[in-house]
Structure 1
Amino acid sequence: MEENIILQIKSKLNDLSKAEKKIGEYILLHSVETVNYNTNELAQKAGVSPATIVRFCRSIGLSGFSQLKIRLYADASGVDEDLYTDITPNEDVSLIAEKLALRFNQSISQTANHLNKTRIEEVTKLLDSCPTIYVYGIGASHVVAEDFTQKFSRIGKTVVNMLDHHLLSSSLINAGEQSLFIAISNSGETNEIIKLTQIAKQRKLHTIGISQYENSTLAKLVDYPIIHHGGEAVMLRSAATTSLISQLFTIDMLYYAYVNKNSKKIMNMLKESKISIQTFFHKENS
């Protein structure tokens, strides 16, 4: 699943060196023109050395300048440049919809491409063996925790999800052996998340952290960090958007990987529960 190169550059901009960042900023302002430059011409335009161009391409995950030009031609040529700018006041609703769709697709592509598939397999086995799963997220991450709870509860897993972190800490302290704690935080630095994870670690629970940043406190603290991608720091920070989509996609990956490993058992369980619920409510409403 190929990512949009314009948004890929934007998402990695703050992780680049000073010289590489100059190239990225220049390309974002002159994406169409860059397609027609050679390495020396782009280096001169951006005020860097040709060697920095090569390093820049590798830093954003490309093999070289030729691949950069191909991706720029495919993603930038003939496309309204307004789509790549941040949402601003008084914009047409249709343009807002296009921008959000572009960024959501990019977030899902980045997460799908960069998720550690081996880690997903490891966590799937862990989910199967743990008798009780505790999950916590605050703010927008609580929506993700609710989604995890809804999905795994309906296939027979015992999931404890509390918004009150004091109450949850008491539950973690008294949790049984082999229980699992899943902490969800986009930044990986949320104070309540870190404290609860520390409690879970002290009680020798298995711990999973879902975050965007592999160097975050949460990712370093847990047994199994799951790193999603696609959150854009400048995009509508009055509310979680791309980061929320990436987190929900990650939960879906865990869910379907788990179902895939236990498909016969779970399919039978879902059929039986559907029939029971339909029968029960049909009788009540008749």
Structure 2
Amino acid sequence: MTTGGLKMIAGMLEQLPPSERKIAAYILQHPHEALNQTVHQLGVATNTSSAAVIRLCKSLGLRGFGELKMRIAGDLMKSPEQGYRDIDPDESMYSIVQKLTNNSLQSLRDTADIINYEELERAVQVLLKAKNIHFFGVGASGIIAADAQQKLLRINKAATAFSDLHLVATLLANADEQDVLFAISFSGETPEVVKIVTLAKEQRILTISLTNYGVSTVSSLSDIRLHTSYQNEAPFRSAAASSRLAQLHMIDILFFCLATAQY
């Protein structure tokens, strides 16, 4: 069952241009009605146009309105979700365990819902052919990069994972056309990662990014775009633990796709 349409819209809502945002807000408020409307009817219902509906689907990275409706239909058939919950002062250990477990499971499900399988396939094929794969991330994303490196080394893929901007810049300066840069940034706006992706583009090195779902600088600059689910950050950022698990999950998916392709 294909799902994730409503999550895609929620994640992109504030980044959409006005006409597309009106349509997106309408779909979030009236998903059942939108599911039974044509492109023209949805344009009329939102005082926009058929062209704006098609542009929204393109902004979401979908093939068209049919795919969006299919994903929304899948969402509406699923059981209600608890959503992400933050910790409270003096909360019991039992409650913390339950909340964080729910947040983690929800993050994995949400990420699976929004996977673009065409982009995933492109990423797998590029990594299979790559001579060297240079993973780069800073802070928590640097830990994900290191995890990715050790996984690929286990299946005999040459990989690096440095969090030092200058070291990675040196690697890219000496890279050849068979090398790949894999940039990791949850926000997609980490300055160091933006700089490295920009440098890779100047060096004509193919780039893959793993970012939070939505429009971001790192994602926009990349040749192949992979995403984890959009999440509203709570005050204590308990969702940060979940986002890390979602990033690790995507790396695991890539690893097993590579492993099975060269079993």
* Residues 214 and 225 in structure 1, CA contact (< 8 A), matched pair in contact too: no
Q: TM-score by structure 1 length? A: 0.67
Post-superposition shift, 1:13?
7.7
4+ residue stretches of structure 1 with deviation over 3 A? 1-4, 16-25, 61-64
Instruction: Identify if the C-alpha distance between structure 1 residues 221 and 19 changes in structure 2 by more than 3 Å, giving closer, same or farther.
Output: closer
Q: TM-score by structure 2 length? A: 0.72
Post-superposition shift, 1:2?
9.3
Identity of aligned residues (%): 32
User: Partner amino acid for 2:129?
Assistant: S
- The residue number in structure 2 matching 1:138 is 138
- The residue number in structure 1 matching 2:37 is none
- The residue number in structure 2 matching 1:75 is 80
* Residues 214 and 220 in structure 1, CA contact (< 8 A), matched pair in contact too: no
Post-superposition shift, 1:100?
1.0
- The residue number in structure 1 matching 2:221 is 221
User: Partner amino acid for 2:156?
Assistant: G
- The residue number in structure 2 matching 1:32 is none
CA distances 1:153-180 after superposition (whole Å, capped 9, x unpaired): 1211111111211121111111123110
CA distances 1:155-214 after superposition (whole Å, capped 9, x unpaired): 111111112111211111111231100000011011000100111111111100100133
Q: Is 2:161 aligned against 1:161?
A: yes
Give runs of aligned pairs for residues 86-125 of structure 1, distance below 5 A: 86-125=86-125
- The residue number in structure 2 matching 1:12 is 10
Q: Distance in 1 between matches of 2:214 and 2:134?
A: 22
Q: Distance in 2 between matches of 1:85 and 1:24?
A: 21
* Residues 3 and 72 in structure 2, CA contact (< 8 A), matched pair in contact too: no
User: Partner amino acid for 2:144?
Assistant: V
Q: Distance in 2 between matches of 1:239 and 1:110?
A: 13
Q: Distance in 2 between matches of 1:155 and 1:194?
A: 29
Instruction: Identify if the C-alpha distance between structure 1 residues 104 and 174 changes in structure 2 by more than 3 Å, giving closer, same or farther.
Output: same
Higher RCO (C-alpha 8 Å, min separation 6): 2
* Residues 169 and 199 in structure 1, CA contact (< 8 A), matched pair in contact too: yes
- The residue number in structure 2 matching 1:62 is 72
Post-superposition shift, 1:122?
1.2
Post-superposition shift, 1:21?
7.0
> How many residues were matched structurally?
225
Q: Distance in 2 between matches of 1:13 and 1:109?
A: 15
User: Partner amino acid for 1:123?
Assistant: A
Larger Rg: 1
Q: Is 2:233 aligned against 1:233?
A: yes
User: Partner amino acid for 1:225?
Assistant: R
* Residues 3 and 114 in structure 2, CA contact (< 8 A), matched pair in contact too: no
- The residue number in structure 2 matching 1:246 is 246
Instruction: Identify if the C-alpha distance between structure 1 residues 132 and 2 changes in structure 2 by more than 3 Å, giving closer, same or farther.
Output: closer
